[in-house]
Every structure is written in C-alpha cells, then in structure tokens.
C-alpha cells in the first residue's frame, strides 16, 4: 500500500492506484483522479460516480456495469461514452471504491 497526496488529501492507494479506504475520498480527489485518466467530469459523470459510491455504501461491494445500468438507469452505451474502454473500472477508480469483482 502506498500513501499519496491527491488534491491536498492524504490517501492510501493499492498497487493499481485505487483508494483502499473509500472514506478518504472527496470531490476534489475525484476530480484529480479523473484528470489522471484523461476525463473531465460533467454532471453526467457525477451522476454515475455518486451512484457507485451510494451503492457501495449500501451493498458493501462495488456495483458492476450491469448494476449501474439497471439500477441507476444509465445506459451502457452512455457509460462507455463517459468512461471510455473500461467504464466499470474507471467509475470505481474515480469514485474511490475498489474495482468491481471480475475487472481486469
């Protein structure tokens, strides 16, 4: 585990750069994490990110892409446009939660 400063916040990261403690997350950290992967956050991004965080808190595990589509009502095609190539992994990264089970 690595400790890093992101947006003036000390955070614990795993070997892939995911936060290991979701309580260290804030919106400024999210914005910097998104910038790190080439994404500029819009209201549509925030809708997905907030759902991922709320669902993680409620369920105790990171939601899959299918769950975000079905429960949050955000079409898969839109998620791929917002978070290109690996939307579930990128949403989780920016949302400060572990990557979903089965993500490479």
Catalytic site positions: 103
d(Cα 27, Cα 100) in Å, to the nearest integer? 20
d(Cα 4, Cα 1) in Å, to the nearest integer? 10
d(Cα 10, Cα 41) in Å, to the nearest integer? 21
- Residue 13's H or E segment, with its range, is strand 9-13
CB 30 within 8 A of CB 94: yes
d(Cα 75, Cα 69) in Å, to the nearest integer? 5
């Amino acid at each position: 585990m690595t400790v890093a400063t992101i947006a003036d916040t000390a955070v614990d990261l795993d070997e892939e750069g995911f936060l290991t403690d979701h309580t260290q997350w804030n919106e400024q950290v999210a914005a910097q994490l998104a910038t790190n992967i080439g994404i500029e956050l819009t209201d549509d991004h925030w809708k997905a990110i907030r759902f991922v965080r709320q669902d993680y808190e409620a369920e105790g595990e990171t939601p899959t892409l299918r769950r975000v589509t079905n429960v949050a009502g955000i079409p898969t095609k839109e998620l791929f446009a917002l978070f290109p190539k690996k939307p579930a992994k990128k949403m989780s990264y920016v949302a400060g939660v572990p990557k979903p089970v089965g993500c490479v």
